[in-house]
Amino acid sequence: MAKIAILGFGTVGSGVYEVLCRNAAGVSRRAGEPVEVKYILDVRDFSDRPDAHLFVRDIGVILSDPEVRVVVETIGGTRFAYPYVKSCLESGRSVCTSNKEMVATYGAELLALAKAHNCAFLFEASVGGGTPIITPMHQCLSANVISEVQGIVNGTTNFMLTKMVRENMSFDEALKIAQELGYAETKDPGDDVDGRDACRKIAILSSMVCGHHIYPQNIPTRGIRDISVADVEAARKLGCVIKLIAWMKHRPDGSVAAGVEPCLVPKSNQLAGVDDVFNAVMVRGDMLGDVVFYGKGAGKLPTASAVVADVVDALKHGVKIHDSLFWKPAEPVDGMLTDPTPAAYYVRVAGVAPAVIEAIYGYGRLVAERYDGCSYFVERADEKALAAAAKKVEAMGGAVKLVLRRLPEEG
Amino acid sequence: MAKIAILGFGTVGSGVYEVLCRNAAGVSRRAGEPVEVKYILDVRDFSDRPDAHLFVRDIGVILSDPEVRVVVETIGGTRFAYPYVKSCLESGRSVCTSNKEMVATYGAELLALAKAHNCAFLFEASVGGGTPIITPMHQCLSANVISEVQGIVNGTTNFMLTKMVRENMSFDEALKIAQELGYAETKDPGDDVDGRDACRKIAILSSMVCGHHIYPQNIPTRGIRDISVADVEAARKLGCVIKLIAWMKHRPDGSVAAGVEPCLVPKSNQLAGVDDVFNAVMVRGDMLGDVVFYGKGAGKLPTASAVVADVVDALKHGVKIHDSLFWKPAEPVDGMLTDPTPAAYYVRVAGVAPAVIEAIYGYGRLVAERYDGCSYFVERADEKALAAAAKKVEAMGGAVKLVLRRLPEEG
């Protein structure tokens, strides 16, 4: 009998408990022994529940019980989660978490701590919710050098963009529905719509690919607030949909680029058909080519089932997992991890006549003219050229309102 | 230093050798030690190669060398592969294979043998080529009860059907190109086009889901020989493409249904966009919902990279993998694992007037009329109703030329 503890009885934490109860037979068969929740840490009052005896408010109770072998952390944030997880690992207990903020910020340190104390630190549920991404990446692609990761990793914004594309909704209308359905925070939806959630996830995947810690603050991040109905319509004219793409590139010389930005995705690209709250991540290996992992990116039971799979792994394999998942500590770099590679771009410009746009941006085509400006498709530009063009636009009294990179046709 | 042996130096076997050489650094980091090929078993003459000293013709050399810890089997077929793999497992050596025929036929026995001798029997590369499917299924979905698997698992037929849909080619023309490109066997392309390859793969996945051996001979299997240009056109009218689908269902009462058959796939279904030699497998878990794994289903280096990932796993985890991958032996059942669930169907009938088709098949709509018959879309029928309708058609002097089930819109 393996005893575990759950820290935080919110959506995912209570889901972990539910999954362990409902699929107890399968879980214990695969773990090699029954798995039992001995403690649930939560400061709220659950004394009415039939299992009230499981609830504790002091992490010390869990840390001082040698029977507890694996700890599930589903508190979220870093204020409590980080010191609690540290203490658990230092006491030799494996930790399984869905907490992307903590992994993106302290992943290297916590992995090293786990290694030093002969236990596992696992976080499959931190990217893609229940969809397997992290385990296949470090385990099934272990014979590959990964050069690129590109995906849709935030279900809330993907739901909103799907509404905007399919029903011609504005950003504000789509946000309102996402909030009503509980997909977006009511108070401050910024983590989703400004791309911070996606940024943490691509920071985690980038760290795995590079083998050293990549920090969210070095990843240029833009959300979807500036996307208008007109942009969605212009994208359609160009045979594309607009998606919030999180990406990273790892070049043979070891250099890294990463970003979170709304992009034009050609309809022929696998990511174009990923709609609603679904997530999809494309990983490019040097031996394997492209693989895509697709599934629901959030939700109580899907996410919880990924946490429980990690619990099974921790019980079975323990520290041996680390050889492939491990990444080294590193300091944040100066500046941003931008990509100098030229690409095709869509730009929306105000206050400048369409006639001069080609002269400013180079070869391309006008997509739409509006009373206050125009949108233009640039066949080929890089970030430097785009910055120079923006300066020219400003010098003419205009303003660049939106820049969207176009992804390749396939991929 | 971990020493391994490769049995069979054909496409995949030589690919394994190449992957181990090219990505030696990453492989040894993840395996925790360098991995070295000590022997290659092949009866052909490789004495011209600089590494000729590695080649042996007698399995006894490998079996009597205690240094060899993991054996890669890439001979294919069962005549030599099966007894060799048995001997390797009986001597306590882990085996990693890409051989779907052997796994589909002897999987339960070989898994039991591995368990009894404290070693691993792994076969990620047997389904989906390099695309991770088996490992995510048994490991990342370990907290789920899987109720359904559905996918495109044969790259050759998917390439041919893509040609038929996009370029209005006939079956014969598409086959010729597939043969010229080396995707299909020149002598006897039956394994691919008659569905036997897909049948073996869905037998393996079904065995994993059910926990007991499911035999290929119990899975109703039809290939794509009967698909005509007219059927492709009719599918288009119905908003669908034709794909060779391998599927299985595991019901709560423990009963199993499985099949390989060309199906109408609605354009909104994730599998509709899977083209060319790509594979995609959808797995439905009770906690997770649907996940899809997508990537190249064949090819030397992709398949080899999956075999090498298994080698890394075998070196790291060994026998512990088995708790989740294991399935029990079982006898083949009498009859076929058919599915009684009603569905929508497309039928092409010759020698019967369109006017009487609705009376025979029930509510639906005429898709196309031809000089020699017609095609009809049946809103809802089951296998029994279809068999009864076919009898009526025959009684009227006609013949049912093709029956295609339509998959659901989503999934």
B411 has pLDDT over 70: no
Which of A135, A142, A296 is closest, CB to CB, to B312? A142
Give the integer Cα–Cα distance in Å for B69 and A171: 58
Q: Regarding the domain delimited by B343-406, which CATH topology (the fold level of the hierarchy) does it fall under?
A: Alpha-Beta Plaits (3.30.70)
What is the predicted pLDDT for the residue at A371? 82
Tell how many helices (H) and how many strands (E) occur in chain B: 15, 15
> Across the interface, do B320 and A323 touch by the CB < 8 Å criterion?
no
Residues 6+ apart with CB under 8 A from A291: A136, A141, A282, A283, A285, B130, B131, B132, B293, B294, B295, B296
> Across the interface, do A309 and B141 touch by the CB < 8 Å criterion?
yes
- Over chain A, what is the mean pLDDT? 94
DSSP-derived letter for residue B221 is B
Exposure string of B81-91, with b = 16+ CB inside 10 Å and e = fewer, is: bbebbebbbee
What is the predicted pLDDT for the residue at A204? 98
- At the top level of CATH, the class of B2-130+301-325 is alpha beta
> Across the interface, do A305 and B144 touch by the CB < 8 Å criterion?
yes
Tokens of A250: 């790892």
A322 has pLDDT over 70: no
Block residue for tokens 């009487």: B356
CB B133 within 8 A of CB B293: yes
* A373/chain B closest Cα distance in angstroms: 36
Asked which of A242-246, A353-357, B126-130 is least confident by mean pLDDT, the reply is A353-357
Burial bucket for residue A331 (CB in 10 Å: 0-12, 13-18, 19+)? exposed
Q: According to the annotation, is A74 in a ligand binding site? A: no
Q: Regarding the domain delimited by A135-296, which CATH topology (the fold level of the hierarchy) does it fall under?
A: Dihydrodipicolinate Reductase; domain 2 (3.30.360)
Q: Which residues of A are catalytic?
A: 201
pLDDT tens-digit readout, A69-113 = 999 999 999 999 999 999 999 999 999 999 999 999 999 999 999
A294 has pLDDT over 60: yes
B371 has pLDDT over 90: no
Give the number of C-alpha atoms closer than 13 A to the C-alpha of residue A18, restricted to the C-beta side.
17
Angstrom CA distances, B284 to A310, B159, B294, stand at 19, 25, 15
Q: How many residues does the structure list for chain B?
A: 411
What is the predicted pLDDT for the residue at B119? 93
What is the predicted pLDDT for the residue at A297? 82
pLDDT tens-digit readout, A169-211 = 999 999 999 999 988 888 899 999 999 999 999 999 999 999 9
* B224/chain A closest Cα distance in angstroms: 25
CB A131 within 8 A of CB A296: yes
How many C-beta atoms lie closer than 10 Å to residue A391's C-beta? 12
Angstrom CA distances, A212 to A106, A127, A136, A148, stand at 12, 18, 19, 16
At A160, the pLDDT band (50, 70, 90 cuts) reads very high
Question: Cβ contacts (< 8 Å) between B131 and chain A: which residues?
Answer: 288, 291
B35 has pLDDT over 90: yes
A411 has pLDDT over 70: no
Which of B135, B299, B323 is closest, CB to CB, to A140? B135
> Across the interface, do A288 and B301 touch by the CB < 8 Å criterion?
yes
* B352/chain A closest Cα distance in angstroms: 40
In chain B, which residue's Cα lies nearest the Cα of A141?
Answer: B309
What is the predicted pLDDT for the residue at B320? 65
**Over residues A362-390, mean pLDDT:** 93
Helices (H), B181-270: 190-193, 196-210, 229-237
In chain A, which residue's Cα lies nearest the Cα of B325?
Answer: A30
pLDDT tens-digit readout, A115-147 = 999 999 999 999 999 999 999 999 999 999 999
Asked which of A359-363, B122-126, B144-148 is least confident by mean pLDDT, the reply is A359-363
Residues 6+ apart with CB under 8 A from A331: none
- Our CA angle for A133, A135, A140, nearest 5°, is 100
Exposure string of A18-53, with b = 16+ CB inside 10 Å and e = fewer, is: bbbebbeebbbbbbeeebebbbbbbeeeeeeeeeee
Q: Which of B201, B243, B249, B300 is catalytic?
A: B201
* B76/chain A closest Cα distance in angstroms: 21
> Across the interface, do B140 and A292 touch by the CB < 8 Å criterion?
no
A10 has pLDDT over 60: yes
CA-based nearest residue to B170, from B219, B230, B82: B230
CB B106 within 8 A of CB B132: no
Of A394 and A355, more confident: A394
pLDDT tens-digit readout, B265-291 = 999 888 998 999 999 999 999 999 999
User: What ipTM score was computed for the predicted complex, to two decimals?
Assistant: 0.93
Q: Where are the domains of chain B?
A: 2-130+301-325, 135-296, 343-406
At B322, the pLDDT band (50, 70, 90 cuts) reads low
At B316, the pLDDT band (50, 70, 90 cuts) reads confident
B410 has pLDDT over 90: no
**Over residues B197-224, mean pLDDT:** 97
Helices (H), A100-183: 100-116, 134-135, 155-167, 171-180
Q: Regarding the domain delimited by A2-129+301-324, which CATH topology (the fold level of the hierarchy) does it fall under?
A: Rossmann fold (3.40.50)
CB A35 within 8 A of CB A4: yes
pLDDT tens-digit readout, A336-353 = 999 989 999 999 999 998
pLDDT tens-digit readout, B287-300 = 999 999 999 888 89
Question: Cβ contacts (< 8 Å) between A302 and chain B: which residues?
Answer: 287-289
**Over residues A316-324, mean pLDDT:** 69
Question: Cβ contacts (< 8 Å) between B316 and chain A: which residues?
Answer: 317, 320, 323-324
Question: Cβ contacts (< 8 Å) between B285 and chain A: which residues?
Answer: 130, 305
**Over residues B37-43, mean pLDDT:** 97
Of A166 and B318, more confident: A166
CA-based nearest residue to B114, from B139, B82, B90: B90
What percentage of chain A has pLDDT greater than the value 70? 98
pLDDT tens-digit readout, B83-92 = 999 999 999 9
